[in-house]
Chains A and B, each alone.
Chain A
Amino acid sequence: DSGVTQTPKHLITATGQRVTLRCSPRSGDLSVYWYQQSLDQGLQFLIHYYNGEERAKGNILERFSAQQFPDLHSELNLSSLELGDSALYFCASRASGGANTGELFFGEGSRLTVL
């Protein structure tokens, strides 16, 4: 158990719809990273938040948005869904200091299926 919780684990929806994926980082971790992994593909970096502030964007579509709340949980909003948005969406948190310099702790992912 990584300590990172993602909900829902599975989600099936139709094209054109909007969904929200939720991530609770490990206790005390301020950084949250979101990744998309399509079938048999690598991990595509979407966005990074640190203590409520957006720090970096990757290949995130304009239809997607995210935020990190004061309690540090994060939500990834996907709208106007298309078939190609079907993927596993992972969130990861990262320790906020000390000797740790790169270890990411991943959740189990949210599998989104768009029909």
Chain B
Amino acid sequence: LAKTTQPISMDSYEGQEVNITCSHNNIATNDYITWYQQFPSQGPRFIIQGYKTKVTNEVASLFIPADRKSSTLSLPRVSLSDTAVYYCLVAVGYGGATNKLIFGTGTLLAVQP
């Protein structure tokens, strides 16, 4: 199972773009990269998922370099409500051993006015 490493915390200001990088050096061929957002006392919520290159949805972009040993979650123009913990999760796609989905320590993003 790929182990993930993220910064413990990051600070930003409203309106700025925030990039959070996750390292997963031993990612396997079948592994996908998924990011979650968690607010205090709430369950994590799916943000975005990708396998390679770039994925964009209405809330974020995910950049994955060719070697896939890291990924970067990009949040455009953050607001105070984006203050949360962000987790990256590397999980094998269906057909592989997806029985243990182990989250890393997460990154606490603090957005200030």
Query: 0/1 per residue, A10-42, Cβ < 8 Å to B?
Result: 000000000000000000000001010000001
A12 CB to closest chain B CB (Å) equals: 16
CB contact list, B15-73 vs A, under 8 A: 32, 34, 36, 41-46, 49
Q: How far is the CA of A4 from the CA of B36 in the complex (A)?
A: 16
In this complex, the interface size class of chain B, counting residues with CB under 8 Å from chain A, is 20 to 34
Asked whether, in the complex, the Cβ of A43 is within 8 Å of the Cβ of B49, the reply is: no
**With A43-B87, A101-B49, A102-B89 in contact, do A48 and B43 touch (Cβ < 8 Å)?**
no
Asked whether, in the complex, the Cβ of B43 is within 8 Å of the Cβ of A102, the reply is: no
Chain A residues near B93 (CB-CB < 8 A) = 101-102
Q: How far is the CA of A42 from the CA of B104 in the complex (A)?
A: 7
Minimal Cβ-Cβ distance residue in B for A98: B94
Chain B residues near A35 (CB-CB < 8 A) = 103
**With A102-B89, A102-B93 in contact, do A43 and B34 touch (Cβ < 8 Å)?**
no
Asked whether, in the complex, the Cβ of B100 is within 8 Å of the Cβ of A109, the reply is: no
Minimal Cβ-Cβ distance residue in A for B100: A56
Q: How far is the CA of A43 from the CA of B41 in the complex (A)?
A: 12
Asked whether, in the complex, the Cβ of A106 is within 8 Å of the Cβ of B32, the reply is: no
Chain A residues near B36 (CB-CB < 8 A) = 104
CB contact list, A68-110 vs B, under 8 A: 88, 90, 92, 94, 97, 101-109
Asked whether, in the complex, the Cβ of B102 is within 8 Å of the Cβ of A106, the reply is: no
10 chain-A/chain-B pairs, Cβ below 8 angstroms: A2-B45, A43-B44, A45-B103, A48-B100, A56-B99, A88-B41, A90-B44, A92-B43, A102-B34, A104-B89
In the A-B complex, the 6 residue pairs with the closest CB atoms: A106-B43, A56-B99, A102-B91, A101-B93, A55-B99, A102-B34
Query: Chain B interface (Cβ within 8 Å of chain A)?
Result: 32, 34, 36, 41-46, 49, 87, 89, 91, 93-94, 98-106
